[in-house]
Amino acid sequence: MSLEKLRRIDETKLEVPVDYKQGMRVPGIIYADSTLEKELEIQAIEQVANVATLPGIIKASLAMPDIHAGYGFTIGGVAAFDLKEGIISPGGVGYDINCGVRLLRSNLTKQEVFPRIKDLVEVLYNEIPAGVGSKGKIRLSPDDERRLLTKGAQWAIENGFGEALDLERIESRGMIEGADPSIISSKAYERGRSQQGTLGSGNHFLEIQYVDEIYDENAANSLGLFVGQITVMIHTGSRGFGHQVCTDFLEVMERATGKYRIELYDKELACAPFNSPEAQDYLAAMRAAANYAWANRQCIMHWTREAFMKILNLSPRSLGMSLIYDVAHNIAKIEEHTVRGTKKKLIVHRKGATRAFPPGHPELPEIYRHLGQPVLIPGDMGRASFVLLGTEKAMEETFGSTCHGAGRLMSRHQAIKKAKGRAIWREMEDKGIIVRSAGRGTLAEEMSEAYKDISDVVEVVHKAGISKKVARLRPMGVVKG
């Protein structure tokens, strides 16, 4: 199979035709312009085609411009399935269930914070545990953990980590109903008990940024953003808990695939019919992991506020640090979409993709209903991140979805090899970005060259109309795992 079989639909979209691979029920659609097309991996295109063979898939197997090969589905993959004929697949959600991003605004400016940026980064690194297997300051009893799994961010707020107002600015108000703590394995409980309130490793980060460009003044004003303003972005998920849930249910789904005689073109797409006990159990466990992740980001946000107040000697009012929004990247949700003119409930898998719901959508908080959903797209630690808004076109074309980040160009091994002999932290400091990390290896894996240029990725979704640019944020200080 090769790139020659793809067909360009327009300047932002490529089609993987149904004859690309035997068994495809629908075409694949990859959002990529001529620049990003050159960076497409054959394996990722194959995965888009493989997803298109799954039972009950609706309209198309979609991939966002940050596409790169993942487990089963591509990272950047979106697929919606019929609730009667369709399936649910852990490969369409990923190991880091509800890995996501939240963005905080403040009353501070770049000029005010720059002289203290090293101190801030150091305190944040010490206050928020990061790195592989990091353990947090929160110790959960078994009862606490079960409550957390059903209440999500609300559990964190009830335990003093934040304010009730925060819930209005989190996707699904920081909690999905239908989580069932009773079906979670003891190993998942064990892994989750000490990791609540931790950043983790890999591409997870906490970043102090400033707004350096605004594209839509009215939208920026509605979000409370202005040029030169300090913002903070938090990117993490459900940690070892979510990883274990995924691991446990991949085994369940592998057995279910045989039991229900589902023909797979890739064993990593192990799945079960949506209405089967196996699929419903996975959904209930996935929701518990999603709630764990929302609580996790809520706790980290609380400590971030405290660190800023401590270092800068500010009152909460003077700091003015509040949540703009929190979005999930790796999740499957039951949503209502229009299919061939009829409203229909579907199970939408987003893996390395985020919602981009339009103005007026009933699932948006009241404060943003006139505006559309805030979309948060982090880049690599050396370039930029973007704030966008969801659109009606996204609902029509991508089940209300858009990209979630820059997307890797190199494997972690390739990046480490390329960084050999280099001091990445020094290169970052020369750019005016202070970085603190649990290890040199992480900085090598996460260097800018390992990723696509976020500006190219965001330009594609903006031009395609599936989300529209509001503001660009530049990094000043980064805490990595």
What residue ranges do the domains of the chain occupy?
3-95+332-355
Which pLDDT score is estimated for 1?
46
Distance in angstroms (rounded) separating the CA atoms of residues 108 and 334: 39
Rounded CA-CA distance 454/385 in Å is: 7
pLDDT at 4: 79
Beta-sheet strands, E only, within 86-204: 87-88, 100-109
Q: Which of 68, 243, 302, 404 is catalytic?
A: 404
Tell me if residue 462 is catalytic: no
- Rounded Cα gap, residues 178 and 187, in angstroms: 21
Exposed / middle / buried, residue 55 (Cβ in 10 Å: 0-12, 13-18, 19+): middle
CA distance between the termini of the chain? 38
What's the pLDDT score for residue 135?
66
Query: How far apart are the C-alpha atoms of 399 and 405, rounded to whole Å?
Result: 18
**From CA 477, how far away is CA 111, in angstroms rounded?**
14
481 residues of the chain, pLDDT tens digit each: 457 789 999 999 999 999 999 999 999 999 999 999 999 999 999 999 999 999 999 999 999 999 999 999 999 999 999 999 999 999 999 999 999 999 999 999 999 999 999 999 999 999 887 756 666 778 888 889 999 999 999 999 999 999 999 999 999 999 999 999 999 999 999 999 989 999 988 789 999 999 999 999 999 999 999 999 999 999 999 999 999 999 999 999 999 999 999 999 999 999 999 999 999 999 999 999 999 999 999 999 999 999 999 999 999 999 999 999 999 999 999 999 999 999 999 999 999 999 999 999 999 999 999 999 999 999 988 899 999 999 999 999 999 999 999 988 888 888 888 888 888 888 888 989 999 987 777 888 888 888 889 999 999 999 999 999 999 999 999 998 7
Cβ atoms of residues 366 and 168 within 8 Å: yes
The pLDDT value recorded for residue 2 is: 59
Q: Which helix (H) or strand (E) holds 283?
A: helix 277-312
Q: Which of 127, 153, 473, 427 lies closest to 306, judged by CA?
A: 127
Burial (0-12, 13-18, 19+ Cβ within 10 Å), 19: exposed
Kindly list the distances between the CA atom of residue 328 and the CA atoms of 102, 291, 295, 322, 479, in Å, as whole numbers in the listed order: 9, 11, 12, 18, 20
Are 356 and 402 contacting, i.e. CB atoms less than 8 angstroms apart?
yes
**What angle in degrees, to the nearest 10, is found between the helix axes of 239-259 and 186-193?**
160
Q: Which amino acid would we find at residue 182?
A: S
